[in-house]
Amino acid sequence: MSSPFAPLFAHIARYVPLSAAEADTLQTYLTRQTIARKEHLLTEGQICPANYFVLRGCLRTYLATEKGNEQTIQFGIEDWWLTDYASLDTQTPSQFYIQAVENTEVVVLDRRVQEEVFSRLPQLERYFRLLLQKSTAAALFRIKFIFSLSGEARYHHFNSTFPGFVQRVPQYMLASYLGFTPEFLSKIRAKVSHT
Amino acid sequence: MSSPFAPLFAHIARYVPLSAAEADTLQTYLTRQTIARKEHLLTEGQICPANYFVLRGCLRTYLATEKGNEQTIQFGIEDWWLTDYASLDTQTPSQFYIQAVENTEVVVLDRRVQEEVFSRLPQLERYFRLLLQKSTAAALFRIKFIFSLSGEARYHHFNSTFPGFVQRVPQYMLASYLGFTPEFLSKIRAKVSHT
DNA sequence: TTCATTTCTTGAACTAGATTAAGTTTTTTT
DNA sequence: AAAAAAACTTAATCTAGTTCAAGAAATGAA
């Protein structure tokens, strides 16, 4: 299969069976989009336009804090869906930004067709239910780590869970994702390399 | 309708239409369970047996930290589903406890029938997909608050978002849910009442 | 290859919140 | 109603991580 959506279909197949006819139907609802590094798919105040599946590259969700910093709350790499469900579900302005960390290619499932696709393809609804169960579980684990590990321990845990990922993002983004300052991350790394 | 599951059916109806026949079908998969205060529905090391809908009372999910403390990561009151999806999905031992904070009555959807119900009742699968979208959104907001507000600000925010809830749980549970110590919560309250 | 911008590092002073410990109040059990 | 257990408070001391500031290194643009 040489569809431009092939990696998505492969991902779906890992969760639910999807016939060729169903894949064709789904295809008519999807588009592809390329975003250059630092460009935004979503900006604070905007209604989140779609759900995005990363084909290549890396996205992040962040928010602007009152002190003028960016707080990264989520990364999305290959084979991950990323969106702001709060805004998508209720058609209300988002409090977040979704930005490309690298030059990125995504599959776009527009919010205006999402419910219609689910009605036509119950298997796809199941696929999303299963993914959402996974991400709900992941969010609980994230909260567990935030509250039960020190900053330094969170960094090491993240590194061993996602080896190599540290190289893909600027340290200040990773620091805010892990819940501390870039200066503190710098100190952790200095400590490690002196060992 | 005087089904013992009436509050659940009412909740479902807020998200998807469910015919009387479908409600009957669903009913055959559900049971009811009463749990006394401090009893557990799930213990660390056990495979999570079910998804629980709170009819009356209050549940919490917590974990035992290395230092011997309990870290509350989630509360569930009336009209909320609570489970450990990580354990439920993969049939692996849970890292969490689910405990009744008050004497509590729940509807039980056993893990062994869950997927079968969804196959027979696509509307129910949609209902859960919608709920999971909400809880994914809520988890992101939670992470946002953890990282962008001070402990004191998190307490005040929680209080104004869930007025009255503070009275229902021991302060040490709330403190760990909010990510600080009971002593610190005590100081916050002292500060407020001296105003 | 140079200039400009962005990212990363280091150190000193500081603070939000933890820890420890003892006493008080409230709730539960008998 | 008394005793026991659980929950909450207060205060002194301590520390993980912040803030601020200035310089060094890496990256990108021209």
CA of A159 vs chain B CAs: smallest distance (Å)? 20
Nucleotides of C under 7 A from a protein CB: 6-12, 16-21
Q: d(Cα B157, Cα B161) in Å, to the nearest integer?
A: 6
pLDDT in tens, A146-161: 999 999 999 999 999 9
Nucleotides of D under 7 A from a protein CB: 6-12, 16-21
To 10 degrees, what angle do helices A111-120 and A122-148 make?
Answer: 120
Say how far residue A88 (Cα) sits from the centre of its chain.
Answer: 15
CA atom of A158 to C1′ atom of D8, Å: 37
Please list, residue by residue across A26-50, b when 16 or more beta carbons sit within 10 angstroms of its beta carbon and e when fewer do.
beebbeeeebeeeeebbeeebebbb
To 10 degrees, what angle do helices A122-148 and A151-161 make?
Answer: 140
Find the mean pLDDT for residues B107-112: 97
Find the mean pLDDT for residues A47-52: 98
Q: Residue B140: what pLDDT? A: 94
Residue B69 backbone zone (phi > 0: left; psi -120 to 50: alpha; other: beta)? beta
The mean pLDDT value of chain B amounts to: 94
Structural contact between residues A84 and B137, judged by C-beta atoms closer than 8 angstroms: yes
Please answer yes or no on whether A125 and B122 come within 8 Å at the CB atom. Answer: yes
Strand partners, A108: A31, A52
pLDDT in tens, B118-171: 999 999 999 999 999 999 999 999 999 999 999 999 999 999 999 889 989 999
Longest dimension (CA), chain B: 58
Q: Residue B152: what pLDDT? A: 95
CA of A176 vs chain B CAs: smallest distance (Å)? 8
Q: Residue A130: what pLDDT? A: 98
Do the bridges between strand B104-110 and strand B97-100 make them parallel or antiparallel, or are there none, so unpaired? Answer: unpaired
Domain boundaries, chain A: 6-148, 149-195
CA atom of A174 to C1′ atom of D14, Å: 29
Residue matched to tokens 């919490």: B60
Helix (H, G, I), strand (E, B) or coil at A17: coil
Classify domain A6-148 by CATH number. 2.60.120.10
Strand partners, A31: A108
Residue A193: C-alpha distances to residues A152, A179, A185, B98, B104 (Å): 14, 22, 13, 41, 52
Residue matched to tokens 């067709």: A113
Q: H or E stretch including A192? A: helix A182-193
Indicate the DSSP class of residue B95: S
pLDDT in tens, A121-142: 999 999 999 999 999 999 999 9
Please answer yes or no on whether A148 and B71 come within 8 Å at the CB atom. Answer: yes
